[in-house]
């Protein structure tokens, strides 16, 4: 997605990098991060959602549907929606929680960056109860701060850091699930392998969340998939053979990984998904789902995902996925 800016204003969030805010598709404001080498990312204030991540050649790395509505209260279909405070469609809150369908703010007092950080281009956003709708507060009556830092690294890696703090004054704990519901852009889903989840247990949403163990082979895709891998490794690779490109996902604080592709019939039923777009996307989402996170008042949780896009040959020598996983 790269929508033309119709107006812009500038904010300054770091001494080293100048941030720009544009009005994007649907008039939704987005922050554009640009690195001096040419890498870039866009973050919509609607949902605190990354909607674009480009390499230095300007090639898009994330999938956003051409049919996405960009119209609240619908979530933007693609990029990296944040699922908080729940991941699923059970209970009274909206499917995948309210964070992806509320307007976030630029964080006026973000936690400081470590002094040796190589992430100089970043934006800090915050969502708190004042940004919610009355219904959200009825079903989730908590005081909290949900912070998101989106940062571009020196070699174009995209780092998302979330910090959630319980500021309840009534002594109540805060319990939530969380996911970075990341839509990767792939050349052709039939050419894609996911490495790192072999032998991991998963809950299959297409089979009443029954628990199975993944077999020894890499994941390949021939039909709808909707699974949550539990206690998954911290490093996972998506190998795109046609593009000779590998996405490497590093995660922290997020034990699980959801893997989703709607395939043709479900994609049609979604309404905001192009007819054959399922062939060009795969969601691999670091998450905390099986065991929700509970914070006592005053406690804070931090979760991270780092995404790198590297040529497969560079990473593995011979498109060897095992070496992608084991190497660094």
Instruction: Catalog residues that contact ligand BG6 under the rule CB under 6 A.
Output: 75, 95-96, 205, 226, 258, 260, 270
- Closer CB to ligand BG6, residue 271 or residue 317? 271
Backbone angles phi, psi at 326, to 5 degrees: -80, -35
- Closer CB to ligand BG6, residue 87 or residue 119? 87
Q: Least separation, in Å, of the C-beta of 96 and ligand BG6?
A: 5
Q: Least separation, in Å, of the C-beta of 139 and ligand BG6?
A: 17
* Cα–Cα dist 295/274, whole Å: 40
Backbone angles phi, psi at 233, to 5 degrees: -60, 165
| Residue 259: its H or E element | strand 256-261
- Closer CB to ligand BG6, residue 66 or residue 117? 66
Q: Least separation, in Å, of the C-beta of 58 and ligand BG6?
A: 27
Identify the burial level of 141 via C-beta atoms within 10 angstroms of its C-beta, where 0-12 means exposed, 13-18 middle and 19 or more buried. Answer: exposed
Q: Least separation, in Å, of the C-beta of 258 and ligand BG6?
A: 5
- Closer CB to ligand BG6, residue 100 or residue 149? 100
Which residues on neighbouring strands pair with residue 50, listed in sequence order? Answer: 43, 80
Sheet (strand 49-54) strand order: 8-12, 18-23, 29-34, 40-44, 49-54
Q: Least separation, in Å, of the C-beta of 178 and ligand BG6?
A: 12
- Closer CB to ligand BG6, residue 3 or residue 65? 65
* Cα–Cα dist 285/126, whole Å: 21
> How many residues are there in the chain?
328
């Amino acid at each position: 997605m790269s929508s033309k800016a119709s107006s812009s204003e500038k904010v300054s969030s770091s001494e080293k990098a100048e941030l720009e805010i544009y009005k994007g598709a649907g008039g939704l404001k987005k922050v554009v991060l640009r690195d001096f080498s040419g890498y870039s990312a866009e973050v919509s204030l609607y949902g605190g959602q990354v909607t674009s991540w480009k390499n230095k050649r300007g090639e898009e790395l994330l999938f956003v549907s051409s049919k996405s509505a960009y119209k609240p209260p619908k979530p933007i279909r693609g990029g990296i929606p944040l699922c908080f405070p729940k991941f699923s469609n059970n209970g009274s809150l909206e499917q995948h929680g309210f964070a992806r369908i509320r307007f976030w703010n630029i964080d006026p007092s973000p936690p400081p960056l470590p002094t040796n950080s190589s992430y100089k281009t970043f934006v800090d956003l915050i969502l708190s109860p004042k940004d919610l709708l009355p219904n959200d507060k009825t079903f989730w009556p908590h005081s909290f701060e949900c912070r998101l830092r989106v940062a571009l690294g020196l070699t174009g890696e995209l780092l998302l850091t979330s910090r959630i703090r319980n500021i309840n004054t009534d002594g109540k704990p805060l319990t939530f699930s969380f996911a970075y519901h990341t839509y990767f852009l792939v050349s052709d889903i039939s050419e894609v392998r996911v490495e790192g989840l072999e032998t991991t247990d998963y809950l299959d949403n297409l089979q009443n969340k029954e628990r199975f163990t993944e077999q020894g082979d890499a994941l390949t895709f021939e039909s709808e998939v909707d699974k949550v891998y539990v206690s998954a490794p911290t490093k996972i690779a998506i190998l795109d053979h046609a593009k000779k490109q590998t996405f490497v996902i590093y995660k922290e604080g997020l034990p699980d990984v959801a893997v989703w592709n709607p395939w043709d019939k479900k994609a049609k039923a979604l309404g905001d998904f192009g007819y054959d777009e399922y062939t060009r996307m795969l969601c691999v989402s670091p998450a905390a789902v099986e065991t929700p996170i509970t914070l006592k008042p005053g406690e804070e949780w931090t979760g991270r995902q780092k995404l790198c896009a590297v040529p497969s040959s560079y990473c593995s020598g011979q498109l060897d996925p095992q070496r992608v996983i084991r190497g660094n």
